Structure 1
């Protein structure tokens, strides 16, 4: 039953708003950073490398928090993550998805007391960033660290492949074959990163950061950023 619930949470139809964003893929294609399937593969690998070097350490730290010592360590984690969100449109997307995720998980797991998280973040005047809320909610819902790491990496890959398909850059068959191929390197991506904490979080895909920054300068029908 637990794994059925996990599969439900990573379903593409879950209404968190992630499909409203391309996280820099659309601008990368527009600016010529991604020109063909080979370039898309390289882009996806760089994107996932940044996920495991930047976002997974914060997920790890949130999952390791214990309730009696929650408030001060979480405040530090939340402030540091907020400071590392450098691109305004990505920042906005993170907060929108964080609020949606918390609302959704609160309805799924009313016994987990997830409403207290929203109250705490509001009291501390801290934004509900998706990465932090994602981990904190799943911890309270009873999921383990390795499950949450794999879930997040899957969702990051899924959303990028979906964006490439909806942009017409690749077809659905080709896109899902590409997604399937990338699962084979998940363990390689996680190796050496799965135990790192927020103190060790780094941004590694600087061209992607630049593409995200200039997304607002392109005309887009499909994505907000």
Structure 2
């Protein structure tokens, strides 16, 4: 029994290591090409101080949790990847809630890249069928949905996916802040360390919700994301 328990633990740890690899910043999925409103917030003076960055990050993570986690949870339910009417409802609801055109475009680019990556890493998961279904139904291949549908098909658990999604959101924002010169590398990574402490609060509040309970909670952030189009010279695409 001990050997069986140890073997299961080892498999879980190996699976978790594989997930860490998938969300590593070196994986070419395109997330580092976008700032998701941070660059425009700095450029137009909505974000001026390190304390303001803390408030910004908290609002950003709140919106990620309230909007994205319910969709990840719904896509990860047993039977949700059966490519039927329920999944179509989920996809259409998510598409309707992406109100900012630049974020909508970024989501489609990253969704396509993620599916290509997962197809090459996990051929047994038959993710070509998933991509074919989206294409046949003429549905938008959004990143959050591909992230959840693809990785659950590959055998990853929904709780791990939700935690990793928050990790990616926080990491990408702080990487953008460092590259923009708003904070130094040490200060940025200290912020990342500090913000992990609120993950449990966000997961407890939103991880059991499903897509019909998803909401957008940071409307000033949406406005900042729209403003990105008006930056004369910019480092990030959106």
d(CA) in 2 for partners of 1:219, 1:191: 41
Which 4+ stretches in 1 moved above 3 angstroms? 67-70
Answering whether residue 35 of structure 2 is matched by residue 22 of structure 1, we say yes
Match of 1:170 in 2: 183
SS at match of 1:203: coil
CA drift at 1:221: 3.0
Match of 2:142 in 1: 129
Which of 69, 86, 90 pairs up with 2:99?
86
CA drift at 1:69: 4.9
Matches within 5 A, 1:62-73: 62-66=75-79, 69-73=82-86
Match of 1:204 in 2: 217
Q: How large is the Cα RMSD of the aligned pairs?
A: 1.1
Q: Do the aligned partners of residues 190 and 165 (structure 1) sit closer, same or farther apart at CA in structure 2, a change above 3 Å counting?
A: same
Match of 1:59 in 2: 72
Answer yes or no: is the 8 Å Cα contact 2:83–2:133 preserved in 1.
no
- Listed as ranges, the gaps of 5+ residues in structure 1 are none
TM-score (norm 2): 0.92
Which of 12, 23, 27 pairs up with 1:10?
23
Length, aligned pairs only: 225
d(CA) in 2 for partners of 1:49, 1:83: 19
